[in-house]
Amino acid sequence: MSLFFRKHAGIIIALLILVAWGSLLWFLLHWQVSFLSPLTYAAVLVMMHLYTGLFITAHDAMHGVVAPGKKWLNTAIGTLTAGLFAFNYYGRLYPKHHLHHRHVATDQDPDYHGGNFFLWFLSFARQYITVLQVLLMAATFNLLQLWFPVENIILFWMLPAVLATFQLFYFGTYLPHRGEYGSDNPHKSSTQSRNHLWAFLSCYFFGYHYEHHDKPYLPWWKLYQEKDRFKGNHQ
């Protein structure tokens, strides 16, 4: 079993995230919402975290590490997880992300902007949010209303996706790449202080961003090991 897991770990972890996202969303769409209950807000945060997990899985697929050696399966999982996150299109994300790695923190980097947080986020949103996505989200929202209460749809399907977008931008793009970096930092990236629990909760270890750029072939669930090896001294 251990050998099987090691061989197929990327696929298994991707499936666990997909099943957790889908089953919890299905449960919460049927749930009786109480705005007085702290469980409602905890559920929003858990869904936000799972949405982030969907995107991180799609991101790992872009690096070929979800199903190594099985390109069709890797692409299929990446396409599915990106699509479930607010109808992102994997085929559009893939080249942009590799431009980011090749031209990090330059004018050719689609993720980079030299302005403040809000201007940077607007630039980021223009790169990755399309009119078609918005139309598909609107159509799906109206379709879901045929079966589920509006407040459930907004709280557990729409809001977590919006919050996860900010989470991914803040921890995975803005914090790691803001500021100036010298020639001793070829990846023009910083890294979170070593705290594996916070690193996982904040963005599936992608706050360990220098480590990711240094070894982009590592899946998200191995970045903490690289952080331990590197001692997190790249600030």
For residue 122, give the nearest of 84, 164, 169, 154 by alpha carbon: 169
Geometric angle at alpha carbon 29, from 152 and 151, rounded to 5°: 10
Question: Can you give the pLDDT at residue 75?
Answer: 94
Q: In this predicted structure, what is the pLDDT of residue 188?
A: 81
pLDDT in tens, the chain (235 residues): 577 677 778 899 999 999 999 999 999 999 999 999 999 999 999 999 999 999 999 999 999 999 888 899 999 999 999 999 989 999 899 988 888 888 887 778 887 887 788 888 888 888 888 889 989 999 999 999 999 999 999 999 999 999 999 999 999 888 888 877 767 787 888 888 889 999 999 999 988 988 988 888 999 999 988 888 876 444 4
pLDDT at 231: 64
Torsion of CA 210, 211, 216, 221, to 10 degrees: -130
Q: Name the residue among 64, 40, 44, 41 with its Cα closest to residue 52.
A: 44
SS3 205: coil
pLDDT for 112: 82
Question: Percentages helix, strand, coil for the chain, rounded to the nearest 5?
Answer: 70, 0, 30
Diameter of the chain measured on Cα atoms: 57
Q: By C-alpha distance, which of 76, 3, 12, 24 is closest to 219?
A: 12
